[in-house]
Amino acid sequence: MTKPRKFEKILVANRGEIAVRVQRTCRELGRKTVAVFSDPDRHALHVRYADEAYPLGGAAPAETYLDQSKLFDIARRCGADAVHPGYGFLSENPSFAAACRERGLVFIGPSAESIEMMGEKTRARERMSRAGVPVVPGTPPLAAASEAQAEARRIGFPVLIKAAAGGGGKGIRRVDRADDLVPAFDACRREALSAFGDDRVYIEKYVDEPHHIEFQILADGRGRTIHLFERECSIQRRHQKIVEETPSPLMTADLRARMGAAAIKAAEACGYVNAGTIEFLVDADRRFYFLEMNTRLQVEHPITEMVTGVDLVERQIRIAEGEPLEDLHLSQRGTAMECRIYAEDPWNHFLPSPGLIRKLSPPGGPGVRDDTGVYAGFTVPMEYDPLLAKLVVWGENRQQTLARMDRALAEYRMIGIRTNLLYLRRIVRHPEFGKGVYDTHFLMKHQDELLKAEPSGRETVALAAAAVLAWRGEAKKSAGPTSGKTVPSPWKLSGRPGGSDS
C-alpha cells in the first residue's frame, strides 16, 4: 500500500471559475498553485490568484489549454508534482491522464483506464448492464443509417441518436418519425466528428418526461466508495444544465436508497478512484436508468458541498495523495440551488456576449456563494465557454432557498456585457418550478413566458438602473469639444430585455 504524501505544488490545467475554485482549496491546504493562461486570459482572475503563472501563448483552445506538450513543459519548469484538470478541456482525456502518470505527475482524478472505460458511452452502458445497473434500451455504435432505421423500429420511436464519445450536450438528436432518421443520423455523425474527433453514434430509447438526476460519488484507493446524495439537473437548454438543486423535488427515501446503491455499484464496476458522478434518467413512474458517468468534478458540485459540508476538491486532493476516506457522517442539511451565469443574450438566440465588464457587484448575505472567474475591468474573451460564474444559495428548506436565490439574482449586477441573469430569475420565479413540478422539457415548454418581450415591475427598474449606469459611462466618453455625438437616452437602453444586467 502506497504511503500517503502531500503535494507541494499543483498545476491547475484550466481557466475561469473552476481554476479559482481549485486554487482556493489548495491555499487552505497549504499547497502552492500554478496557473496557465492563454493570451486573452493574461489578466484573468485565476492568473492573479495563483502562486505562479505561466503563458501558453496563443488563443484557441487547441493551442493553449488543450496542448499537452505545453502543459507538461510548464509542469517540468515549475516543479509541479500534481495536476488538477478541473472540468472540460483535458479533464476526461485518458491519454492526458496516462501521460501525467508516465511523467511522474499525479493526475488528480481517476485512472486513465477508468476514464477510457466510461468515456465511450456504449461500452459504459454494456459494463453497467453486466453489473446489474439499469440502462436505457439502446444499441452499440452503428455503421450505417440503414442499421439505425432497423434498430429504431425495434426500439420504438421516439429515439435519441447520440455520439458514442459525446458529452456536454453535444452530438444528440431526437427523432420522432422514421422519415427523419437518416438526415438526423448523418447530421449527428458530422457533429460528433467535429466535436470529439469520433463520428461513431448509437441509438437510445427516448424516455418521456424524464428527470435528469445524478449522484455524487467519492472512492479512495483502499476499496471504499460512498455517495453524497443526488442533484436534480433537469433545467436544461439543448441538453446543457442551467439550474441545479439538491435534494431533488422528485426524490423519496426509497428511491434515493436504490439509486445511491446503483451509483456505488456503477463506480465499483469500473474500479473507480476519486470524485465522479453517475447520471441517471428517471421517468414519470420513478423508474431510473443509467445515462453516463462523468469522470471528473462537475460544474454543479457546490450544491453538494453546501448541504453536506464536504469540500469535494479537498477530498479529490487527499485521495490523490493516497489518503483513505475518513468516516464521514453524511447527511443532507437543508437545500441548495445553483444558477449558471453566462455571457450570452437569451433575447438574441442565446448568442455569446464577450466584452469588457465595466461594473460588477455580486450578491451577498446569508447562504449566498458566488463562484466566479471574472471581475470589473476584465474582458470576457470570445474563444471559450461563456460561463462567467455560478451563483449558489443554501436554505433551511426549499422555500427559503427559492426566496434567497430570487433575492440574490435580483442583487447581481454585471454591467457592460449581456448575461442571462433575468432569464434565470424568471425560471426561479415560475410557479411550476416553485412547486418542484418540472422535467427536462421545462424550458422548451415555457419558453414564451421565460422569453417574453417586455420585462415588468422590478425587472424594469433593474434594467433601467443598469442602463443609467451604462449611459453615464457612454456620456463621459462622448463628452468634449470635438465629440458631436448624440448619446441615447438610458430609458431607451433599458427597454430591451437582455440589456446590460439581464
Instruction: Name the percent of the chain in helix, strand, coil, to the closest 5.
Output: 35, 25, 40
Residue among 31, 296, 369, 426 flagged as catalytic = 296
Q: Among 173, 217, 213, 175, which residue's Cα sits nearest to residue 192?
A: 173
DSSP one-letter code for 135: B
Number of Cβ within a 10 Å radius of residue 117: 20
CA distance 27 to 37: 19
Residue where the block lists cell 445553483: 338
Would you call 180 exposed, middle or buried from its count of C-beta atoms within 10 A (0-12, 13-18, 19+)? middle
Residue where the block lists cell 428517471: 282
467: cell is: 442602463
Own/partner long-range contacts of 443-450 (Cβ < 8 Å, ≥24 apart): 443/235, 443/236, 443/237, 443/242, 450/346, 450/423, 450/426
Q: Is 127 a catalytic residue?
A: no
CA distance 388 to 475: 27
CA distance 174 to 157: 9
Give the β-pairing of 106-107 and 82-84: parallel
C-beta separation of 436 from 472 below 8 A: no
Which positions are annotated as active-site residues?
296
